[in-house]
């Protein structure tokens, strides 16, 4: 491979704006994700993910790899909000080795039935074996329709708001909407402003909103700094710090949101 590739070893690894832990967290990379290394600096690597977003990640959180992880062969994708991985096919004998978030992809190397449950044996990015309940996964996730995506979004209600967050351990507003669009098989930009300007979506009049449309909000000067997804009946779902820092359903008619509303977009 011409460009170096690393695989993420943490359930949710922070990407920073600069090669130090005190700099702003700009995004995250999920367990098992393959990242392209752009440059190295001391104990940090500047990396690029599948959405073309870049940031600095500590080298202790990744593993250099000659081949991408879980990119071919038999792969299981986590469909539960979280999935625990165990040393053996039992939830009682040992604590989990690691708990990974929704969308994590893992290489499957075997099956077993134990305690009346169906288990999958997986090979982790560091080549260690582990076991997980098959009910936490889907082997071939299908692209969702807009209606299915809207229904799925409600499963994330109550998860924490986290600046830079892109996983079920915590989302920020644009990380949440980007994740929802991935369920449709669409890769949209990471940041709110870029999402609003993205050519993969078209403007929608407020009076013509449909479930699944993306809403964008801003400061008094209309600079866009927040996004959510319209659900219908004047409601939208978003990861927000407003009132309570969680994924929640809000009303567009609420003065806080009505005054901040800037525009809407419909993904093509």
The tally of domains found in the chain comes to 3
Contact yes or no for 236/258 (Cβ under 8 A) = no
Do 177 and 119 belong together in one domain? no
Do 263 and 228 belong together in one domain? yes
Compute φ and ψ for 175, nearest 5 degrees.
-65, -35
pLDDT tens-place string over residues 188-240 = 999 999 999 999 999 999 999 999 999 999 988 889 999 999 999 999 999 99
Do 153 and 232 belong together in one domain? yes
* Residues in CB range of 256: below 8 A, 6 or more apart: 242
Do 31 and 81 belong together in one domain? no
What is the band of 141 on the pLDDT scale with cuts at 50, 70, 90?
confident
Do 205 and 95 belong together in one domain? no
Do 157 and 231 belong together in one domain? yes
Do 105 and 210 belong together in one domain? no
Do 262 and 150 belong together in one domain? yes
pLDDT tens-place string over residues 38-74 = 999 999 999 999 999 999 999 999 999 999 999 999 9
Q: Write down the pLDDT at residue 151.
A: 98
The model carries a pTM of 0.95
d(CA 59, CA 57): 6
Do 225 and 249 belong together in one domain? yes
Do 247 and 154 belong together in one domain? yes
Of the candidates 138, 156, 191, which is a domain's last residue?
Answer: 138
Of the candidates 87, 105, 138, which is a domain's last residue?
Answer: 138
Domain CATH code at residue 132: 2.30.30.40
Give the domain extent around 37: 5-65
Positive or negative torsion for Cα 26, 29, 34, 40 = positive
Position 70 in a domain: no
Do 111 and 57 belong together in one domain? no
Do 165 and 133 belong together in one domain? no
pLDDT tens-place string over residues 250-259 = 999 999 999 9
């Amino acid at each position: 491979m011409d460009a170096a590739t690393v695989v993420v070893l943490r359930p949710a690894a922070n990407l920073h704006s600069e090669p130090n832990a005190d700099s702003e967290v700009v995004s995250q990379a999920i367990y098992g994700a393959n990242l392209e290394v752009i440059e190295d600096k001391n104990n940090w690597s500047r990396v690029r993910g599948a959405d073309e977003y870049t940031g600095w990640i500590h080298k202790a959180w990744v593993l250099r790899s000659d081949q991408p992880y879980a990119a071919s062969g038999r792969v299981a994708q986590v469909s539960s909000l979280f999935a625990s991985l165990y040393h053996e096919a039992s939830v009682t004998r040992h604590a989990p080795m690691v708990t990974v978030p929704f969308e994590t992809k893992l290489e499957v190397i075997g099956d077993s039935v134990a305690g009346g449950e169906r288990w999958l044996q997986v090979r982790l990015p560091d080549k260690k074996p582990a076991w997980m309940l098959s009910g936490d996964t889907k082997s071939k996730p299908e692209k969702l329709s807009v209606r299915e995506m809207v229904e799925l979004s409600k499963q994330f209600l109550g998860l924490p708001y986290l600046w830079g967050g892109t996983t079920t351990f915590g989302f920020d507003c644009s990380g949440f909407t980007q994740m929802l669009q991935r369920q449709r098989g669409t890769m949209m930009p990471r940041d709110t402003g870029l999402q609003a300007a993205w050519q993969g979506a078209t403007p929608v009049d407020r009076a013509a909103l449909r479930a699944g449309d993306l809403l964008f909000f801003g400061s008094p000067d209309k600079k866009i700094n927040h996004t959510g997804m319209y659900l219908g009946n004047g409601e939208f779902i978003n990861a927000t710090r407003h009132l309570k820092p969680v994924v929640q359903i809000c009303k567009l008619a609420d003065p806080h949101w009505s005054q901040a509303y800037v525009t809407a977009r419909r993904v093509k």
